[in-house]
Chain A
Amino acid sequence: MRKSLYETDEAIMEGIRNDDDRALAHLYKLHFPMISHFIISNSGTDDEAKDIYQEGVIVFYEKIKGNSLELSCQIKTYLYSVCRRLWLKRLAEKGRYANRIEDSENYLSLEEDVPQHEENERQFGVMAEALDQLGEPCRSLLEDFYIRAQGMQDIVEKFGYTNTDTAKNQKYKCLQRLKKLFFTSYKPEV
C-alpha cells in the first residue's frame, strides 16, 4: 500500500466512496492512537477504546456512504468529536461522570450525527436479537437470501429442499416470524 495515496482527507473520503478497503484501513490506523489515548486517559480500557473507535469510524463511514457528510473540519477532528461524545455517553451509562475530560484536540458538538447513529444502533440491536431468537436454519436462510443475496437455486441446494417452492414457502414462514419478533421489541420513533 502506497501511503502517499491517502495523504489528504479528500483522498481518503474518495477512497471510501469507491469501496476501497485500503482507504478505510489507512484511515483506521491513522487515527486510532489518538482515540485510544483519549479513552485510556479518561478512565477507559483498551477494549473500550477499540469499541468506541470502531463506532466512531462507522458513523463516519456511513455518513460518507450516505453522502450526507458536510465536513467543515478535518476528519481527525470529526472522529475525535464523535468518539468523545460516544465515550461521554458510555461513561454516563456506567454511572460515572467525568468532571474533567482531558482533551488533546479541538472538538465539535455534533448535535445531529450521534443521536441518529444511536437510533440506528438500537435498530441493529433489536435485529440481532430477533435473528438470534429465530434460530437455525431460518437465520441462515434469511441471511443468505437477503444479506448475501444468494439465488434461490443455491439456497435450495444448500438446505436440501426438494424444490424452490418449498424453499420460498420456508423463507416466507421464517420472515413472518422474524417480523413478529422484530416488531414486538422495536417501535420506530416517529
Chain B
Amino acid sequence: MFDHRIYEQIERYLAGTLPAEEKAAFEALLLSDPRLADQVQEHRQVLQAMQHYGQRQQLRHKLNSIHTEMETGSRAITSELTAWKVFFKKHAQTMAVAASVSLLSVFGTLWSVQQMKKPVQQQTARYIELRREVEKIKKEQRAIINGIASADTPAPAPRSARFSGTGFAISPDGYIVTSSHVIQGADSILIENKAGLKYKVTEVHRNTDYDLTILKVEDPSFAGFGKLPYTFKTASSDLGERVYTLGFPREDIVFGEGSLSSASGFEGDTTSYQISIPLNPGNSGGPLLDDKGNVIGVINGKQAGQEGAAFAVKSSYLLQMVTEMKERENGLTVSLPQQNNLSGTSRTQQLKKLQDYIFVVKVYN
C-alpha cells in the first residue's frame, strides 16, 4: 500500500516543496484518509526526533571537545575561591545577625551613656549671664533708617554696639557699677539713660570674683549726676523681702518685681541672692532694690531651665569692692550716697526718681 513514492511525497509535503496543485490534492487526500494522516503525523515525529537527535549528538560532541581542550589547559584555580563562597553562603545569616547585634549594642551603649549624662549636664552648665547681643537688632534698624534717608547721600552710620547691659550710678561724681561680663572684651563703652544723656566711660576697677566692674564717666562736659536718691545696704536682706529692679533688656527701661527667694546664689554661692524676678539678657548690671529704696544687690544671671531663679550679687560685696578700690588705685575715693530719698514713697514715685540713674551700658569691640 505504502511504498517509497508515497513516502517521498510525504517528505516533500512536510518540507513544503510540493507544487501548489499537488499540495492541494495531497491535503484533500489527508482529510479523506485518516490512515494516511496518521502516517504523516508519525513521519513528522520520527524525522523531527531524528534531526534533533542529530543536532544533539553534534552538540555533545562539541561540548566534549571543549571539555577536553579545557582539561588540557590549566584548571582548579577557582576551587579555593568557591570553597570560600560556600563557607560564606553557609554562615552569611549568622554573620549578619552577629554584626547587627554588635552594632546595636555599641550604639545602644553610647545612647544610654548619653542619657545618663544628661541630668548632670542640666545641673552644671546652665548658668546664663544676662548680657545682650544687640548687633542684629541694630543692623535691622539701620537698614530701615538707610531706606528712609536714601535720597541724600548716606553718611557712614555709626558703628552699633555689640553687647549691652545695665549699669547704675554709685556716686554723684560719675562712678557707675555694672557686671564684669557685660564689658568683657570691650574696646569702648558708652552709657545712656532714659533721658537721653550719653557719656563715654572707662573701666576703673574690676573684680571678676564678684562679677562687678566700676566705670567712670570720662566726658569733659560731665557735671555730675546730682544727688543720688538711694543708699546701699550693708547688712544681708531677709528671705521673702519684696525686691525690684530696673534694667534695659530692650531699648527702653523695664521694671521687674519679685521677692528674695534665697540668701545664696547659684550652687550655693554665698556672694549672691536668689531672686524671683523674670529677667532677660540685658538686665545684667542692674540694681536690685528693696521696698525702702536700698540697693541690696547687682543683677548678674539666671539659671536656665528653671523658672524664676535669677541671681544678684549682694551689695555688701559691692561696698567691699569700693574700699578695695580705694586701696588699690592710689587712694581713689568714691563718695557713696548716705541719704535715702525713696523710703516711704510709693513704688511709682521711687521709679520716677530712680530711672535717671539707671543706664544702658553699650559695649563696642
A residues apposed to B, CB below 8 Å: 21, 24-25, 28-29, 32-34, 37-38, 41, 50, 54, 57-58, 61, 102-105, 120, 123-124, 126-128, 131, 142-143, 146-148, 168-169, 171-172, 175, 178-179, 182-183, 186, 188
Task: Decide: B42 and A171 in contact? CB cutoff 8 A.
Answer: no
Question: Is B70 an interface residue, CB under 8 A from the partner?
Answer: yes
Give CA–CA (A61, B66) in the complex, Å.
14
Question: Is B144 an interface residue, CB under 8 A from the partner?
Answer: no
Identify which of A38, A41, A54, A178 gathers the most chain B CB atoms within 10 Å of its CB.
Answer: A54
Task: Decide: A146 and B42 in contact? CB cutoff 8 A.
Answer: no
Task: Tell me the interface secondary structure of chain A in the complex.
Answer: helix
Task: Decide: A41 and B54 in contact? CB cutoff 8 A.
Answer: no
Extra pairs beyond A58-B63, A147-B51 (10, CB < 8 Å): A25-B69, A28-B70, A33-B76, A41-B83, A54-B63, A124-B56, A127-B52, A175-B43, A179-B42, A182-B49
Task: Decide: A37 and B49 in contact? CB cutoff 8 A.
Answer: no
Distance in Å from the Cβ of B51 to the closest Cβ of chain A?
Answer: 6
Known: A103-B89, A104-B85, A172-B7. A28 touches B63 (CB 8 A): yes
The digit string for B59-95, where 1 denotes a CB below 8 A from any CB of A, is 1101110110110000111110011011001100000
Give CA–CA (A169, B3) in the complex, Å.
8
Give CA–CA (A37, B53) in the complex, Å.
30
Task: Decide: B46 and A29 in contact? CB cutoff 8 A.
Answer: no
Give CA–CA (A28, B63) in the complex, Å.
8
Chain B contact residue count (CB 8 A cutoff)? 37
Known: A33-B78, A104-B86. A124 touches B53 (CB 8 A): yes
Report which of A21, A37, A127 forms a contact with B82, defined as CB distance below 8 A: A37
The digit string for B16-59, where 1 denotes a CB below 8 A from any CB of A, is 00000000000000000000000000110111011111101101
Task: Decide: A148 and B63 in contact? CB cutoff 8 A.
Answer: no
A sample of 10 inter-chain contacts (CB < 8 A) reads: A24-B62, A28-B70, A34-B82, A37-B79, A104-B85, A123-B52, A147-B51, A169-B4, A178-B46, A182-B46
Residues of A within 8 A of B56 (CB): 58, 124
Distance in Å from the Cβ of A136 to the closest Cβ of chain B?
Answer: 16
Task: Decide: B54 and A29 in contact? CB cutoff 8 A.
Answer: no
Question: Is B267 an interface residue, CB under 8 A from the partner?
Answer: no
Distance in Å from the Cβ of A110 to the closest Cβ of chain B?
Answer: 19
Report which of A25, A32, A105, A123 forms a contact with B49, defined as CB distance below 8 A: A123
Task: Decide: A37 and B63 in contact? CB cutoff 8 A.
Answer: no
Residues of A within 8 A of B7 (CB): 172, 175
**Closest residue of A by beta carbon distance from B6:** A172
B residues apposed to A, CB below 8 Å: 3-4, 7-8, 42-43, 45-47, 49-54, 56-57, 59-60, 62-64, 66-67, 69-70, 75-79, 82-83, 85-86, 89-90
Task: Decide: A171 and B4 in contact? CB cutoff 8 A.
Answer: yes
Residues of B within 8 A of A178 (CB): 46, 50
Task: Decide: A179 and B63 in contact? CB cutoff 8 A.
Answer: no
Residues of B within 8 A of A32 (CB): 67, 70
Task: Decide: A37 and B52 in contact? CB cutoff 8 A.
Answer: no
Task: Decide: B66 and A147 in contact? CB cutoff 8 A.
Answer: no
Give CA–CA (A33, B73) in the complex, Å.
13
Task: Decide: B54 and A146 in contact? CB cutoff 8 A.
Answer: yes
Residues of A within 8 A of B50 (CB): 127, 142-143, 146-147, 178
**Closest residue of A by beta carbon distance from B73:** A29
Residues of B within 8 A of A61 (CB): 59
Give CA–CA (A41, B69) in the complex, Å.
24
Task: Decide: A146 and B47 in contact? CB cutoff 8 A.
Answer: yes
Give CA–CA (A101, B212) in the complex, Å.
83
Give CA–CA (A41, B51) in the complex, Å.
37
Residues of B within 8 A of A169 (CB): 3-4
Distance in Å from the Cβ of A63 to the closest Cβ of chain B?
Answer: 13
Task: Decide: A29 and B70 in contact? CB cutoff 8 A.
Answer: yes
Task: Decide: B52 and A124 in contact? CB cutoff 8 A.
Answer: yes
Task: Decide: A148 and B67 in contact? CB cutoff 8 A.
Answer: no
Task: Decide: A168 and B82 in contact? CB cutoff 8 A.
Answer: no
Residues of B within 8 A of A33 (CB): 75-79, 82
Give CA–CA (A128, B56) in the complex, Å.
11
Task: Decide: B82 and A179 in contact? CB cutoff 8 A.
Answer: no
Report which of B4, B42, B54, B77 forms a contact with A147, defined as CB distance below 8 A: B54
Known: A34-B82, A148-B54. A179 touches B67 (CB 8 A): no
Residues of B within 8 A of A175 (CB): 7, 43, 46
Known: A172-B4, A178-B46. A21 touches B62 (CB 8 A): yes
Give CA–CA (A175, B42) in the complex, Å.
11
Residues of A within 8 A of B82 (CB): 33-34, 37-38, 104
Task: Decide: B54 and A25 in contact? CB cutoff 8 A.
Answer: no
Distance in Å from the Cβ of B68 to the closest Cβ of chain A?
Answer: 10
Give CA–CA (A120, B3) in the complex, Å.
30
Give CA–CA (A37, B78) in the complex, Å.
9
Task: Decide: A168 and B4 in contact? CB cutoff 8 A.
Answer: yes
Task: Decide: A57 and B4 in contact? CB cutoff 8 A.
Answer: no
Report which of A24, A58, A124, A188 forms a contact with B66, defined as CB distance below 8 A: A24
